[in-house]
C-alpha cells in the first residue's frame, strides 16, 4: 500500500480509501465485515461513509452503513487502526426523511452525535458536508444556471463556527466538503483564514476517466490551496470495468439494479469506455485497474475511494495501487479524452 497524509495534518492515510455506500443494500453486514477485514489486512486504513448510506437513500435503510461499521468496530476492536470519514446529508427532497434544516447548528450537532452513536466511537477523523445547501450544478448538471429565486443565504461562517465547537468538543478531528464547486470551496477557505476557524482540508468529488471536470478550476484550487481530492466514483458506477460494454454485467450489478443512476450510460460514455478498454487490453491490464491507477496517480488526489459489491472486485481494486501508468499509456488516454471530453459531466 502507498500512503500520504491528509492535507495540513499529520494524519496518515492510504492512497486507496474503502468506500462503503453499498453496505446495507447490495451488501449484507457479514459482507461488509469481510471487506473491512480484507482491506485493513492489505494496508487500507482509510474508510469513508455517510449518514445517508446506503445509496439509493431511503427511510427504511437510513444510516444502515454506519451501523455496520460500528458493529465491526465493536467486534474487531480495530477503531484505532482506521482513519474514519463520514458526512452529514445535505438538504433536499432526497434527504427529507433525515432532516430538513440543512447545516444549521442544531442539524450539525444532531448529525454528528447520531453518527458517533451508530459508529460506536467517540470521534470521527474527517467530517464532511455531503453537498452544498445553495442551488448549484452538481451530479449530471453540466453548467451553472443562476436561480434568482434561491432562498439560500450565505452561512459559511456560521457553519465553520458550529464545526469549530464540535472540533473543540473532541467529536471530530478535521473537516471537509463534498460535491462542492470552486466558489464554495474558496468561500470556506476565506472564512477559515479570516476568522481562524477550522479549515476544509479535503473535497470529495466525482473523478474518473469519464468525468474529469475537477481538472478545471478545482484542480488549481487543490494544488494552490493544498486541499486534497478524495475521488469518488473512480469506476463510474462500474462502467469502467468494461462489463457493460462486454455484456458480462450480472443481474445484481449497480446500473441494472438502479437504472436511474444513468449519468455514465450515455452513448458518448459507452464510446469512450470502448476506447479506454482497447488501451487497457493492448497494454495487458484490466480496464478497472487502469482506470483506478489513472485516478490514484493524479497530483491533486489525496485518496481514491473504491467501492465493491464482491470480494473479487475489492481484491482487483485494491491491487490497482501496484500499477503505475507509463507516459505512453497516459498519452493514449489523453487522446481519448480530447476526442470525447467528460462524457458523463
Out of 53, 232, 244, 276, the active site residue is 53
Domain count, the chain: 1
In a domain, 86, yes or no: yes
In a domain, 284, yes or no: no
Q: What region does 247 belong to: left with phi over 0, alpha with psi -120 to 50, or beta?
A: left
CB-count exposure of residue 180 (10 Å: 0-12, 13-18, 19+): buried
Question: Which cell goes with 156?
Answer: 459559511
Give exposure, 284-307, as e/b (b: 16+ Cβ within 10 Å).
Answer: ebbbbbbbbbbbbbbebbbbbbbb
Q: How many CB atoms lie within 10 A of CB 100?
A: 12
Residue with grid cell 494544488, as numbered in its chain: 223
Domain containing residue 87: CATH number: 3.20.20.100
In a domain, 345, yes or no: no
In a domain, 56, yes or no: yes
pLDDT, position 345: 66
Pairing status of strand 3-5 against strand 12-14: antiparallel
- List, for residues 254-312, the tens digit of each pLDDT value: 665 666 567 788 899 999 999 999 999 999 999 999 999 999 999 999 999 999 999 99
> Could you list the residue range(s) of the whole structural domain that residue 310 is in?
3-236+298-323
To the query of whether residue 276 is one of the catalytic residues in this protein, the response is no
In a domain, 259, yes or no: no
Q: What region does 148 belong to: left with phi over 0, alpha with psi -120 to 50, or beta?
A: alpha
In a domain, 260, yes or no: no
pLDDT, position 254: 60
pLDDT, position 261: 61
- Regions of the chain with pLDDT less than 50: none
pLDDT, position 48: 98
Residue with grid cell 450480472, as numbered in its chain: 250
In a domain, 283, yes or no: no
In a domain, 40, yes or no: yes
Q: What is the pTM of this model?
A: 0.95
Amino acid at each position: 500500500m502507498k500512503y500520504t497524509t491528509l492535507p495540513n495534518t499529520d494524519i496518515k492515510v492510504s492512497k486507496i480509501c474503502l468506500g462503503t455506500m453499498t453496505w446495507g443494500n447490495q451488501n449484507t453486514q457479514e459482507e461488509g465485515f469481510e471487506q473491512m477485514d480484507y482491506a485493513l489486512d492489505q494496508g487500507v486504513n482509510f474508510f469513508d461513509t455517510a449518514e445517508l448510506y446506503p445509496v439509493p437513500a431511503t427511510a427504511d435503510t437510513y444510516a444502515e452503513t454506519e451501523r455496520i461499521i460500528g458493529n465491526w468496530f465493536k467486534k474487531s476492536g480495530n477503531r484505532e487502526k482506521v482513519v474514519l470519514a463520514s458526512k452529514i446529508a445535505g438538504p433536499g427532497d432526497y434527504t427529507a426523511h433525515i432532516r430538513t434544516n440543512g447545516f444549521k447548528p442544531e442539524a450539525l450537532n444532531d448529525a454528528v452525535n447520531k453518527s458517533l452513536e451508530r459508529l460506536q466511537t467517540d470521534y470521527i477523523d474527517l467530517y464532511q458536508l455531503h453537498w452544498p445547501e445553495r442551488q448549484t450544478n452538481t451530479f449530471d448538471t453540466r453548467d451553472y444556471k443562476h436561480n434568482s429565486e434561491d432562498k439560500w443565504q450565505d452561512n459559511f461562517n456560521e457553519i465553520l463556527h458550529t464545526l469549530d465547537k464540535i472540533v473543540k468538543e473532541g467529536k471530530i478531528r478535521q473537516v471537509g466538503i463534498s460535491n462542492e464547486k470552486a466558489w464554495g470551496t474558496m468561500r470556506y477557505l476565506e472564512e477559515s483564514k479570516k476568522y481562524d476557524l477550522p479549515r476544509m482540508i479535503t473535497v470529495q468529488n466525482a473523478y474518473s476517466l469519464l468525468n474529469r471536470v475537477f481538472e478545471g478550476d478545482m484542480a488549481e484550487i487543490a494544488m494552490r490551496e493544498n486541499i486534497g481530492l478524495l475521488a469518488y466514483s473512480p469506476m463510474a458506477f462500474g462502467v469502467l470495468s468494461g462489463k457493460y460494454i462486454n455484456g458480462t454485467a450480472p443481474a445484481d450489478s449497480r446500473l441494472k439494479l438502479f437504472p436511474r443512476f444513468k449519468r455514465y450510460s450515455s452513448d458518448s460514455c459507452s464510446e469512450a469506455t470502448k476506447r479506454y478498454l482497447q488501451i487497457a487490453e493492448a497494454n495487458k491490464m484490466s480496464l478497472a485497474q487502469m482506470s483506478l491507477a489513472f485516478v490514484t496517480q493524479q497530483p491533486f488526489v489525496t485518496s481514491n475511494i473504491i467501492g465493491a459489491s464482491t470480494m473479487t472486485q475489492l481484491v482487483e481494486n485494491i491491487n490497482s495501487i501496484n500499477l503505475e501508468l507509463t507516459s505512453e499509456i497516459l498519452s493514449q488516454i489523453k487522446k481519448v479524452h480530447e476526442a470525447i471530453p467528460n462524457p458523463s459531466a
